[in-house]
Structure 1
Amino acid sequence: MQAELINEARRQAEICNACRYCEGYCSVFPSMHAGRFFSDGDLTQLANLCHNCRGCYYACQYTAPHEFGLNLPAALAELRRESWEDLAWPRPLARRFHSHGGAIALALVAGLALIFLAIRALPSGGGQGFYAVLSHNAMLAIFLPAFVLPLVALAISLRRYWRVVGGGRLRLTQLRSALRMAAVMRDLAAGHGDGCNFEDDDRFTHARRHAHHAIMYGFLLCFGATCAGTVMHYLFAMPAPYPFWSLPKLLGVPGGVLLTLGSGLMVALKRRADRTLGDSRAWGGELGFILLIGFAGFSGLALYLFGTTAAMPLLLALHLGAVLSFFLLTPYTKMAHGFYRLTALVRDAQRQEEQQGAGA
């Protein structure tokens, strides 16, 4: 299957490279037009630069019914998913999630919620708020490995990717360039700045870009809230629960709102989008991940609103189950796309510097 996907992506890339009509659309095309021939690593790099905005498809004169039958967004989406599965560690988990993503996410949330409910039977140590249900030490023992192990898996996967795409020694300027691109998601605005065509044929829109922004910054705010709570707990002896005007709440509440709204918008967009222009095999896994991260944000908000009621233990179990599922599945879900995408942007910044050095 890998050889078929590579060969089809190479065929389409060679035609696109000869045409060059879409040269300014996104980062894919300047990188594609930098050479005449495409190694397997080159194609893997192009696939992970692509955001599947689909603007090139609707601008292309060689799509079906033309004999070339180009569908570059789908070809790169399939190759991108295949590259994640091949480079993931361990590989079987990635393949299983992409084929049964929604069911796995649902089962994990339900199963982990039951685990947390069962842990209620253990003594809490007399803590306040959430710690009256589950002690701080128990939370630490569960979530620390669930946070560290996925990071190790991602590090191994990204190291494999870096070797495949021929990445060289990393420089700070390259990382800064990649972070700037990722922060504004410039490629989702397309080269003309009108947005992409993900929603409806040739209609330009920034809706998908806004949804990505909401999810990304919502996650960062929630992560920042967790970090702030950790610092307050260990350095300043200020354990939870925290009032609204504390840093964990001021970061976490807006983060939960952004996660919930961004995920809801993304689900709506994916349901309206043409599946033939993406990777249909990964559709269930992608939708399952979006629902999972959206539920984590929503359940966190519900826990904040009803944390002093009798519903708190159940809400806490559901929220912690969703968060733990999210962390454990991160290396094998669409969340990995963010890490691969950033790495691909760093490699593209290297390519640009190499070109500038060769032309000097």
Structure 2
Amino acid sequence: MQSLDSLTREAQDLAGKSNRESAEHTITWHDKKLTHNESEVARQMQICNACRYCEGFCAVFPAMARRLDFKNKADLNYLANLCHNCGACLHACQYAPPHEFAVNIPQAMARVRLETYTDFAWPVSFGKLYKNNGVTVALATAFGLTLFLILTILANGSLVSPPGNGGNFYSIFPHNTLALMFGIVFGYAVLALGIGVARFWKEITPGQASAVAAGEALHNVLQLKYLDGGHGEGCNDEDDKFTLRRRNYHHLTFYGFLLCFAATSTATIFHYVLGWEAPYSYTSLPVILGTLGGVGLLIGPIGLMRLNIRRAPAHGDKAQKPMDHAFISLLILTSASGLGLLIWRDSSALAVLLALHLGIVMALFLTMPYGKFAHGIFRSAALLKWSIEKRLPNKLGLGSE
């Protein structure tokens, strides 16, 4: 293996070459064009691969140790999406700024992840929406709210619900109409995300999955394993102090979202299979699931927003802050409007509360394929590749797994 000095000299040479060619934002290695951000990740990985201090922190470093160079674009995209941006390696690194090597893996990986989402977006031209996601979300929200407010007036003749409505949403919007509208939008979101991650999956050449590898990857996704800093004490958010707050808020958000989805699915079964039409009682399964999910989807995103605002700038890419804040804000508005609708569903405000909630949910669905939601999908794919890769023979004989 090369010495640390020789590898870091090579890394500095690569950094110099990257800076000289940054006007074009590309650098060519082995006839593959790397962007300026990918070249920077390659430079830093070269240093990390010689040091190995952070090898036990997360999956990025043992995956890195299986490679001698970082000239492959697909490898860099894979490693970037394997990174959970927990910040532990940054605070442990002896070569972090202000050292001249300026190693900042969380920040460098974050910039490449955004390029990955953009490059693999479907349709391809829509990938540009990632770079202006805050504006996209604002326009989608305005569209959704306007649409449902107009439809409410047309269907109800007023934004004030008629007396004796009893919380019946479908007296304002027919069930089949809502199912069709949201089915189309949600179906498009699933299709766009599915095609994007399938293209990413093909590019990173994952190998043959096994049931054991898939099970481990699913466990790591559900547990958010790599938000524990590699030692179970958590991430570094603002300083060197370890905390599990980010992991816990992610759990509340993730499982809150799943519970809300389960509530909608259960209500659909009640309606179409069992013939039980809404409104459902407060003790019914759809309402209980929706309430628990809504609470989780409110507390989790509020916590994540607070952490995101207070997090040290070195921990991520500040250019992505608008995308982060836009997505988190949509989640907060979705849960808050949904809980408000449940609480005041028997009031004369039902129509306007329903229009507001449906408009926000429509905006969430419209922007899912081109916003922060995509990070969970691409990260899951990277975790599956790692579970497959770690079971393959390590021809280099390098690194611990």
Q: TM-score range by the shorter chain?
A: over 0.9
TM superposition shift of 1:30: 1.1
1:160 paired residue among 183, 199, 212 = 199
Q: How many Å separate the matches in 1 of 2:143 and 2:346?
A: 24
Equivalent pair of 1:94/1:333 in contact (CA under 8 Å): no
The amino acid that maps onto 2:371 is T
Name the CA shift for 1:67/1:358 in 2 (closer, same or farther; >3 Å): closer
Q: How many Å separate the matches in 1 of 2:306 and 2:393?
A: 41
Q: Which residue of 1 aligns with 2:52?
A: 20
Count of aligned positions: 356
2:328 paired residue among 268, 277, 290 = 290
Q: In the TM superposition, what whole-angstrom CA distance separates every residue of 1:308-350 from its partner, at most 9, and x where no partner exists? A: 1111111111111111111121111111111111111110011
Q: How many Å separate the matches in 1 of 2:102 and 2:224?
A: 29
Equivalent pair of 2:148/2:355 in contact (CA under 8 Å): yes
Within 5 Å, give how 1:89-108 maps onto structure 2: 89-96=122-129, 98-108=130-140
TM superposition shift of 1:123: 4.6
Instruction: Using the TM superposition, name which of 113-122 and 255-264 deviates more.
Output: 113-122
Equivalent pair of 2:66/2:396 in contact (CA under 8 Å): no
Answer 1 or 2: which has greater helix percent.
Answer: 1
Q: In the TM superposition, what whole-angstrom CA distance separates every residue of 1:91-118 from its partner, at most 9, and x where no partner exists? A: 333322x333233323322321121121
Equivalent pair of 1:41/1:165 in contact (CA under 8 Å): yes
Q: Which residue of 2 aligns with 1:192?
A: 231
Name the CA shift for 1:312/1:123 in 2 (closer, same or farther; >3 Å): closer
Residue 109 (str. 1) matches residue 147 (str. 2):
no
Q: Which residue of 2 aligns with 1:204?
A: 242
Equivalent pair of 1:263/1:294 in contact (CA under 8 Å): yes
Q: How many Å separate the matches in 1 of 2:127 and 2:306?
A: 25
Q: How many Å separate the matches in 2 of 1:24 and 1:271?
A: 29
Q: How many Å separate the matches in 2 of 1:93 and 1:303?
A: 33
Q: In the TM superposition, what whole-angstrom CA distance separates every residue of 1:105-158 from its partner, at most 9, and x where no partner exists? A: 23322321121121124458x997111111112102210111111111111101
Which structure has the bigger radius of gyration?
Answer: 2
Name the CA shift for 1:141/1:181 in 2 (closer, same or farther; >3 Å): same
Residue 306 (str. 1) matches residue 344 (str. 2):
yes
Q: Which residue of 1 aligns with 2:183?
A: 144
Q: Which residue of 2 aligns with 1:8?
A: 40
The amino acid that maps onto 2:80 is A
Q: Which residue of 1 aligns with 2:84?
A: 51
Instruction: Using the TM superposition, name which of 140-149 and 261-270 deviates more.
Output: 140-149
Report the TM-score, using the length of structure 1 for normalisation: 0.95
| SS state at 2:287 partner | helix
The amino acid that maps onto 1:205 is T
TM superposition shift of 1:358: 9.8
| SS state at 1:355 partner | coil
Q: How many Å separate the matches in 2 of 1:189 and 1:28?
A: 14
The amino acid that maps onto 1:352 is K
The amino acid that maps onto 1:344 is A
Equivalent pair of 2:66/2:394 in contact (CA under 8 Å): no
Name the CA shift for 1:3/1:100 in 2 (closer, same or farther; >3 Å): closer
| SS state at 2:96 partner | coil
Equivalent pair of 1:5/1:75 in contact (CA under 8 Å): yes
Q: In the TM superposition, what whole-angstrom CA distance separates every residue of 1:249-271 from its partner, at most 9, and x where no partner exists? A: 11110100000100100000000
Q: How many Å separate the matches in 2 of 1:329 and 1:48?
A: 20
The amino acid that maps onto 2:321 is W
Q: How many Å separate the matches in 1 of 2:125 and 2:240?
A: 38
TM superposition shift of 1:186: 1.1
Q: Which residue of 2 aligns with 1:118?
A: 150
1:249 paired residue among 287, 290, 305 = 287
Q: How many Å separate the matches in 1 of 2:331 and 2:393?
A: 39
Q: How many Å separate the matches in 2 of 1:52 and 1:304?
A: 36
Q: In the TM superposition, what whole-angstrom CA distance separates every residue of 1:269-296 from its partner, at most 9, and x where no partner exists? A: 0000122321222110111001101110
TM superposition shift of 1:175: 1.6
Task: Kindly report the root-mean-square deviation, in angstroms, between the aligned alpha carbons of the 2 structures.
Answer: 1.8
Equivalent pair of 1:110/1:318 in contact (CA under 8 Å): no
Q: Which residue of 1 aligns with 2:62?
A: 30
What stretches of structure 2 of length at least 5 have no aligned partner?
1-24, 26-33, 157-161
Q: Which residue of 2 aligns with 1:174?
A: 213
Q: How many Å separate the matches in 2 of 1:123 and 1:267?
A: 37
What stretches of structure 1 of length at least 5 have no aligned partner?
none
Q: In the TM superposition, what whole-angstrom CA distance separates every residue of 1:43-98 from its partner, at most 9, and x where no partner exists? A: 111100111111101110111221111111111000011111100112333322x3
Name the CA shift for 1:134/1:32 in 2 (closer, same or farther; >3 Å): same
Within 5 Å, give how 1:61-72 maps onto structure 2: 61-72=94-105
The amino acid that maps onto 1:266 is L
Equivalent pair of 1:185/1:209 in contact (CA under 8 Å): yes
Name the CA shift for 1:94/1:308 in 2 (closer, same or farther; >3 Å): farther
Q: How many Å separate the matches in 1 of 2:168 and 2:146?
A: 20
Residue 354 (str. 1) matches residue 396 (str. 2):
no
Q: How many Å separate the matches in 2 of 1:358 and 1:277?
A: 31
Q: How many Å separate the matches in 2 of 1:185 and 1:148?
A: 26
Q: How many Å separate the matches in 1 of 2:210 and 2:231?
A: 29
